[in-house]
Chains A and B, each alone.
Chain A
Amino acid sequence: MRATERAGRRHGTRGAVAAVLVAAVGLLCVVLLLPLTASTTDSAREITLVIRNMAFYLEGGTEPNPTIRVRAGEEVRFTVLNRDPGFAHNFVVDAWDLETPFIETEASTTVVVRAPARPGRGEYVCTPHGKMMRGVIEVVGGD
């Protein structure tokens, strides 16, 4: 915003038009990104993943790197908790264009995304430990 204001002062009317345009584009971006970042309605599906011993687990689960199933088009809130001392991990689903920042030990990150509209199978991984921390994420038909 600061750059826009400066441009406005320097170029008068043309600058003001540009500022409005930039602001409009910015607003559009915010609206588009809202479902990805902002807190959403309570209807979002909650999936909590706990990382320990270089594997993902569903909260309370015992199966390493389990298959995660979601419904097509549903809103999903992933919380990823790192309980792996000495490691930084992340959670990446290429097919969904989803990538969390690195999560330090005993920290967690939450990301809200909308599942793809069409059923299919993708993979989730931790980037630096992708040979061991890798599982299937499955999108099934909505009902």
Chain B
Amino acid sequence: MIQPRNRGIAQSRPWSRRAWLRVAGLGSLTGGVAAAQGAVGGQVAPALATMPDHRGSAMGPVGRVSTDSFDPTRFLRAWNFSDLPSDERARVYRETPRADGTMLREYELFAVDRDIEIAPGVFFQAWTYNGQVPGPTIRATAGDHLRINFTNQGSHPHTLHFHGWHEPAMDGSLPAHQVLPGESFLYEFDADPFGVHLYHCHANPLKRHVHKGLYGAFIIDPPATSARPPADELVMVLNAFDTNFDAENEVYAANTVASFYVQEPIRVQVGQLVRMYVVNLTEFDLINSMHLHGMFFDVFRTGTSMTASESTDTIMLCQGERAILETTFRYPGDFMFHAHQSEFAELGWMGLFRAEAPSAG
């Protein structure tokens, strides 16, 4: 039903999402063929005469994105730079136990411009924290003290704006808080409250600074006395990219790279609790969502309660909204997960879990 209207848009705006999708090779091959045929003439041709060969249907883009500078699989289970070799990690992260049993956590974060590959052969001139989008996941336990030395090595003023309790001077949001290129600022605050939060740049214009890639997940664990049960933990930042500055996104993803987890499914174990920290940082689109096939999950909105608020298979998230999702895979095999906005899914926000039965040994 929507096909004729979309065709009209494609003709008047050469770089509409649909046209872009065809060029970039995203989406199914048959979809591309259908769209190309639809663009010829003003009428829908008789179905029988032009029936395309549906057997060529493919899912996701053609080709692979290099994982040299950012590996979405590694990002899933990395926090506080745990993915770096110890000597490199020591340069950007230090933890020091304090007398009261909490931890002092010190970070070196920097903003820098970098071209990143968001779909095979599609490069985005990003603004990044520490050279990656999403930025490094920051993780602490409630009551810890965080000290974050932020250096702006980018070409524009930037800030770090953390969600959570802190003094106004640490908010990184007002014009006076801007850290100019070449300058530094020390952010300091206690980790409070426990939950899944986020950080992002709050310099103006805000939507541009966010959509360019300046954001990351900020996880605060409950105190050790009431820790969440052990689980295979995964960080998923839902994001999207406006590649042509028309205030619409052309590429969508969980963790930046379009359809990456279709090509490299997320490996999980049947019978093991899986905990997902899901943060929506998509700009321009008012909401995003996540749907998991073949099962249900428990939802802990903002992660600020130990009691699940609902059990569902689709969660809706506003911009900046986040949730902890918990499930245990019952069957081995591949399970899709994606935005239930089908358009987002076909433009890259699509992945697979591959559940493996525990080995017999």
Contact = CB atoms under 8 A, between A and B. Distances in A.
Nearest to B87: A62
Q: Which of A62, A85, A86, A131 has the most chain B CB atoms closer than 10 A to its own CB? A: A86
Contacts of A130: 182
A132 B69 contact: no
A85 B153 contact: no
Given A130-B182, A131-B184, A86 B151 contact: no
A85 B112 contact: no
Given A129-B153, A131-B153, A132-B151, A87 B182 contact: no
Contact of A85 (B66, B155, B184): B66
A132 B110 contact: yes
A107 to B, nearest CB: 14
A86 B118 CA distance: 12
Given A86-B114, A86-B116, A128 B153 contact: yes
Contacts of A53: 88, 131
A54 interface: yes
A99 B88 CA distance: 28
A85 B66 CA distance: 10
A54 B130 CA distance: 9
B115 interface: yes
B290 to A, nearest CB: 28
Contacts of B53: none
A30 B153 CA distance: 37
B75 to A, nearest CB: 16
Nearest to A62: B87
B68 interface: yes
B89 to A, nearest CB: 12
A86 B182 contact: no
User: Interface extent on A, as a size class?
Assistant: 10 to 19
A40 B151 CA distance: 41
A45 to B, nearest CB: 29
Contacts of B69: 85-86
A129 B68 CA distance: 21
A88 B181 CA distance: 17
Interface string B288-312: 0000000000000000000000000
Contact of A129 (B66, B112, B123): B112
Interface in B98-147: 110, 112-117, 123, 131
28 contacts: A53-B88, A53-B131, A54-B131, A64-B91, A85-B66, A85-B68, A85-B69, A85-B115, A86-B69, A86-B114, A86-B115, A86-B116, A86-B117, A86-B123, A86-B131, A87-B112, A87-B114, A128-B113, A128-B155, A129-B112, A129-B153, A130-B182, A131-B153, A131-B182, A131-B184, A132-B110, A132-B151, A132-B153
Interface of A: 53-54, 62, 64, 85-87, 128-132
Given A86-B131, A131-B151, 12 more contacts: A53-B131, A54-B112, A62-B87, A64-B91, A86-B69, A86-B117, A128-B153, A129-B112, A129-B153, A131-B153, A131-B184, A132-B110
Which are the 8 A-B pairs with shortest beta-carbon distances?
A: A86-B115, A86-B114, A85-B69, A129-B153, A131-B151, A85-B68, A131-B153, A86-B116
